[in-house]
Amino acid sequence: EPINETRVVYTLLIHEHSTIELFTARPDGSDERQLTRTANSYELQPGVSPSGKQIVFVGSEQDATGATVSSLWLMDSDGQNRTLLATQPGVIYERPVWSPDGRYIAYDANIPDDAGDASNNLFIYDTTTGESTRLSQGPPNKRFPSWSREGAALIFSQVSDDSHTQGLFRLTIASREISMFFDSSAEETQPVVSPDGLRVAFVSFPEDTPE
């Protein structure tokens, strides 16, 4: 049955099998459990549903030609009922995250648009219909979505026209409008909105300083 307690889900490299698998443990590190066991494949970037009953994650493996095959997967929080959500030749999927109501999964991927451009853009997958919707088009790359508390918008990172560095932007789901959220002379990326919606954590790379 799905796990019904507060736990941490994380990735771990299994050296003897050359795989990266998903594990879960209690916050104090006890009761570690391995959730996936997939030879010659990596399981990456897990995201736990608001109910705690399901986990979405990225799969990555190499085909017979040596090319990387990326995919989106869903499973119960105990590792059972693994289901493929999306895969497409040449497409790399990143950062799947659940909407606050648990219906949608946002992610970014380099799926070509109608003009043939394969920049990373934002998508949402509807778990009730099994359909994905493109939310943005064209360059620059738009990556690492995180949901606003009310589920009406995504905070993500892309290169700013003003600073020419990565900044944080906001995409309103209903209108598809993109606006600046935070930008500086540093590189801001990988935003995560807090559960109360009042704060955003992110990774920052300061601009190079002359020696």
* Tens-place pLDDT, residues 27-46: 999 999 999 998 888 999 99
* pTM, rounded to two decimals: 0.92
Instruction: Give residues with Cβ within 8 angstroms of 15, minimum separation 6.
Output: none
| Cα–Cα separations (whole angstroms), residue 179 to 62, 109, 122, 166 | 37, 20, 14, 14
Task: Please give the pLDDT value at position 2.
Answer: 63
Whole-number Å distance between alpha carbons of 198 and 71: 32
Whole-number Å distance between alpha carbons of 169 and 156: 5
Task: Please give the pLDDT value at position 63.
Answer: 83
The b-or-e profile of 19-57 (16+ CB within 10 A means b, else e) is bbbbbbeeeeeeeeeebbebeebbbbbbbbbeebebbbb
Say yes or no to pLDDT of 209 above 90.
Answer: no
Q: Grade residue 210 by pLDDT with cuts at 50, 70 and 90.
A: very low
Task: Please give the pLDDT value at position 208.
Answer: 62
Task: Please give the pLDDT value at position 114.
Answer: 87
Task: Please give the pLDDT value at position 65.
Answer: 85
Q: Which residue has the tokens 């934002």?
A: 122
User: What's the average model confidence in pLDDT over 70-96?
Assistant: 95
Report pLDDT digits (tens) over 90-104. Answer: 999 999 999 999 999
Distance of CA 37 to the CA centre of its chain: 21
